[in-house]
Amino acid sequence: MPNLEYVGAWTPLARGAKCEAGAGLSAAARVEGDRVFLRGAVKVKAGQELKTGETAFTLAAGVPRPPADVHPAAGLNVTAAGVGTAAAAVLEGAELSLEGLSYPLSE
């Protein structure tokens, strides 16, 4: 059973090859009790398009992966391997906001 009062440090996410930092806070994740919370945004680079299933970000080592593939927001999936992918095509210059998104540590 996770410690429900535990709050970890923010850990930066690795952006996918077609993505760069979005506006505002850097994309990061942290454990809060029995959930992992995401923040920030990733932006599709100029001249690129993020196709369905392509990597937007990868969780850093030490950030717990979801127990199964999750869909914390329309347009975004986080796989059990810790890879954030586009659920639909994202055009150049568009941002995928991670603000307020989370997933459980257990099913």
Mean per-residue pLDDT of the chain: 92
Query: CB–CB of 25/95 below 8 Å?
Result: no
Q: What are the sequence ranges of the domains in the chain?
A: 11-95
pLDDT (0 to 100) of residue 25: 85
Global pTM reads 0.91
pLDDT (0 to 100) of residue 6: 83
